[in-house]
Amino acid sequence: MSKKTLVSAITAALVVGAASTTFAAANPFSDVPADSWAYDAVSTLAADGVIDGYPDGTYQGQNTMTRYEMAQIVARAMAKTDLEKADKALVDKLAAEFAEELDNLGVRVADLEKKSDNVKWGGELRYRYYDIDRDSAAGDETHNKVLFRLEPKAYIGDSGWTANARLDYEMNLSTDENNDGVVSCTVLGIEGPLFGATVQAGRVPVFTAQGMMFDDRISGGTVAFGSDEFKTTLAAGRYNKNHDDIDAYKGITNAKDITAEYYGVQFDYTPNDNLALNAGYTALTGIDINYVKGYNGIALPKYGDDNTANIWYVGGKYAFDKNVAFVGEYAQNTDADDEDQAWTAELQYKGANVSDAGSWGMYAGYRQIEAYAAIAPTYDDIIGAGYKGAVVGAMYVPAENILATIEYFDGEETYSGKDASKFFANVDFFF
């Protein structure tokens, strides 16, 4: 965005109506002559403290402006209290557009978002491909699909509460068929403040151990309270993995249909920008699981004699500098007869930010995710719970709101010891 574009966009609302008093201001910049088309606008914004120039007294309007610089201008415009209704509407829309950058500046825009539009829409268009090779009886697997996702958020008055939903439509490119011919609603719930805490209810997301132990949704609720430095999150509800089709019984790790009561607590401690620690406990009770034997006749491990799982975990992330970080997590299911541990160690370099075209990141690590120590791990690189091995991955943002990912896993099944590998590629278009 050029500074001339800025002037034509923001000044139209902020300048008109105040011309009689402000246009008489002295020329603030040596490179903006009085006969310039932008003179009045630039002078007005400078006088109001919305824009400033360079130390040498120039404006340099021909230069390209970053989103961060634009966010600074929007933040200053937000601070003005004497705006006309139309002017304020424009500033509110700009604040919603630059919400992430403003948040980094410490400027809260949640109120502006809900006032500018009662319903906010987001979503993504995603292409995903992966190829899995197994030496075990589970065999090979290929996934080649496109997903279209809509995520509407409706603000409930001025209460601070929102109603959230997620609508998914998936197409299998290998068969040229859609996913059961319907649009599926995977998220439906409400979120808002209550007695100093943040509460979610309905079909809500739960993210524990940085995704190693659980990254899925439960039918129930969560309560998060505390500060940015120390936060406690409670979760309770019912969890159903939906492993009901015949393909679920091909492999050791997927040969189960879990329906259980879910209870959990997680503590997050973030004393500074470099360190983030977490610890927690998750319990599953009343697990309804179908025990079958693998094609090799080996019986599957059990969660426990009472069909329960008690999983403890601890981990964290440490950033050595702005480019290099280390992530580690460990979990153990004290009720499992076998396959009771999970751990991951990962070294990260840089990072891809979807709002920053050209940004990129990469990582390398090792994961050992035994079948009954991780309920729903988040990792796309590893095949899933019941595998261990080395992983590598890279992410790149070719243009704003487009993220390309490539990942590779080389290892084995934890229970059988049979070799396994996975190639993963993904392109996301966010809107």
Q: What is the identity of the amino acid at 177?
A: E
What is the rounded average pLDDT of the residues 1-5? 47
Maximum CA pair distance of the chain? 89
Looking at every residue in the chain, the average pLDDT score rounds to 77
Residues 6 or more apart whose CB falls under 8 angstroms from that of 311 comprise: 213, 281, 282, 283, 284, 331, 332, 333, 334, 373, 375
One of 2.40.160.10, 3.10.580.10, 1.10.3720.10, 3.40.50.720 is the CATH number of 120-430, namely 2.40.160.10
What is the rounded average pLDDT of the residues 98-127? 70
pLDDT for position 202: 94
- Residue 291's Cβ-side half-sphere holds a number of Cα atoms within 13 Å equal to 11
In the block, tokens 């068969």 appear at: 175
What is the rounded average pLDDT of the residues 185-195? 85
What letter would DSSP give residue 251? S
Q: Pull the structure tokens for residue 274.
A: 């470099």
Predicted confidence (pLDDT) per residue in 250-285, tens digit: 333 333 445 678 999 999 999 999 999 999 999 988
pLDDT for position 171: 84
Domain borders along the chain are 3-115, 120-430
pLDDT for position 249: 30
In which band, very low, low, confident or very high, does the pLDDT at 178 lie, cut at 50, 70 and 90?
low
pLDDT of 196 > 70? The answer is yes
More confident residue, 90 or 50: 90
In which band, very low, low, confident or very high, does the pLDDT at 35 lie, cut at 50, 70 and 90?
low
pLDDT for position 352: 93
Backbone φ and ψ of 220, nearest 5°: 175, -125
* Choice among 62-66, 131-135, 308-312, 420-424 with the minimum mean pLDDT: 62-66
Q: Cα–Cα distance between 207 and 202 in angstroms, integer?
A: 15
Asked whether the whole model's pTM tops 0.75, one would answer no
More confident residue, 8 or 210: 210
Q: Cα–Cα distance between 389 and 410 in angstroms, integer?
A: 6
Q: Pull the structure tokens for residue 171.
A: 């197409």
More confident residue, 372 or 90: 372
Q: Cα–Cα distance between 333 and 313 in angstroms, integer?
A: 9
pLDDT for position 332: 95
Helix (H) or strand (E) holding 21: helix 19-22
Predicted confidence (pLDDT) per residue in 370-381, tens digit: 988 888 899 999
Q: What is the identity of the amino acid at 95?
A: A
Predicted confidence (pLDDT) per residue in 322-367, tens digit: 999 999 999 999 988 788 999 999 999 999 999 899 999 999 999 9
What letter would DSSP give residue 151? E
List % helix, strand, coil for the chain (3-state, nearest 5).
Answer: 15, 45, 40
Counting residues of the chain whose pLDDT is more than 70, the rounded percentage is 62
In the block, tokens 């997050």 appear at: 268
pLDDT for position 240: 77
Which of 428, 395, 402 is closest to 126 using CA atoms?
Answer: 428
Q: Cα–Cα distance between 314 and 120 in angstroms, integer?
A: 36
More confident residue, 113 or 262: 262
pLDDT of 82 > 70? The answer is no
Q: Pull the structure tokens for residue 390.
A: 């080395």
